[in-house]
Amino acid sequence: MTSTPPPAGPRLAEVDALRGLAVIGILLSNVPEITEMRSTDEPGGPMLPIPAALELVAHQRFFPIFAFLFGVSLALFLDGSAARASRPRLLLLRRLVVLAGIGALHHLGQPGEALLPYAVIGLVVLLPATWLPRWAVAAGGAGLVVTALALGTSGLALVPGLFLLGLATARYRIPSTLHRHGRRIAVAGVLCAVVAAVTLPWQLSDLANSGFDTDSAVAGLAVAGLWTVALLGVLRTRARGGVLAVLTPLGRTALTQYVGATLLVLLLAGPAGLPDSTRLPAMLGVAAVIVVVGVLAARWWLARFRHGPLEWVWRCLTWWRIVPLRHGPEPAVISPR
């Protein structure tokens, strides 16, 4: 069997939208880090409203969504390439190695970037897990997340488990059958709300150490779940079309958006006076500009091309050939209705 890249197939609207939401949320956390802004906290004093709000609704809330969807996406890639290649796992290996290279270059502009560690964890954890039955992947993912929380760790320590949970979710065909799981999604939302109601007050009592303890990590996962359920709920309403028009282009070009946002932050940081400052309103303004530019640019690009710029490069290097970029009609979107 020859290795022929599959054509751009149907898209999962909810997955793209969730990925787009994660791109926006992660940007809010990355701008202060990239620009080396100073903390607004005074030792022993209360956290100011804007940074407190960011801690509660943004920081550590969107990387779990992104990590989970990374596992989903690699599972979908493996399934799609299995019909076109005799050794699909070799393609997955190459895909992760290429991502590591992109991440290493991106690291030059953003030392705290996630692509390189995601690629390494994918090679060490996700790739071997593709040989396991789906129940074992799900159990392993849950076990790794619980272990990370029990050890009082957060951040990257949660990523291996979230990767595996995403892989298992795709193996159980949940992303393409969300319309059958409305009640379960609602129950998950209630559970996340209960956990958030318990853990957020603990995090509020010690916001200065937010992100470095189990309480904030559990709260982060719970709020990430609430963001996910809330978006899936909105996508069942009349607002679906407008929300997809904004979030889907970001999700389909997530790699380009993530790397491009770093370049735009570095470009705008000086004029906005962000480096070594506490100008959080200006930071939010820069983030808003980047999101608007990202949405408009992605919509323009995807109206003409099948893949985002970096997504296309990633695809070409994965399959080791030039794959078609231009397209006629937009690819179909799978809608769970």
Instruction: Give the type of residue at 50.
Output: I
pLDDT for res 92 = 96
Burial class (CB in 10 A: 0-12, 13-18, 19+), 204: middle
Q: Provide the whole-model pTM.
A: 0.91
Contact by Cβ (8 Å): 208, 164:
no
- List helix spans (H) across the chain: 13-35, 49-57, 63-82, 88-106, 115-121, 127-129, 134-150, 159-171, 182-205, 214-234, 240-252, 254-272, 280-302, 309-319
**Mean of per-residue pLDDT scores for the chain:** 89
Domains of the chain, residue spans: 11-334
pLDDT for res 20 = 98
CA–centroid distance for 1 within its chain = 33
pLDDT for res 332 = 47
In this prediction, the residues of the chain whose per-residue pLDDT falls under 70 are: 1-10, 40-48, 207-212, 328-337
Of 129, 135, 102, 133, the residue nearest 118 (C-alpha): 102
Tokens of residue 223, six digits: 């709020």
Of 183, 254, 189, the residue nearest 222 (C-alpha): 189
Angle between helices 214-234 and 13-35 (to 10 degrees): 140
Instruction: Give the type of residue at 267.
Output: L
Give tens-digit pLDDT for 194-217. 999 998 888 877 766 666 678 888
Contact by Cβ (8 Å): 6, 80:
yes
Give tens-digit pLDDT for 244-298. 999 999 999 999 999 999 999 999 999 999 998 889 999 999 999 999 999 999 9
Instruction: Give the type of residue at 209.
Output: N
pLDDT for res 5 = 66
Other CB atoms within 10 A of residue 134 CB: 16
Question: Mapped to the 3 state alphabet, what secondary structure does 86-110 carry?
Answer: CCHHHHHHHHHHHHHHHHHHHCCCC
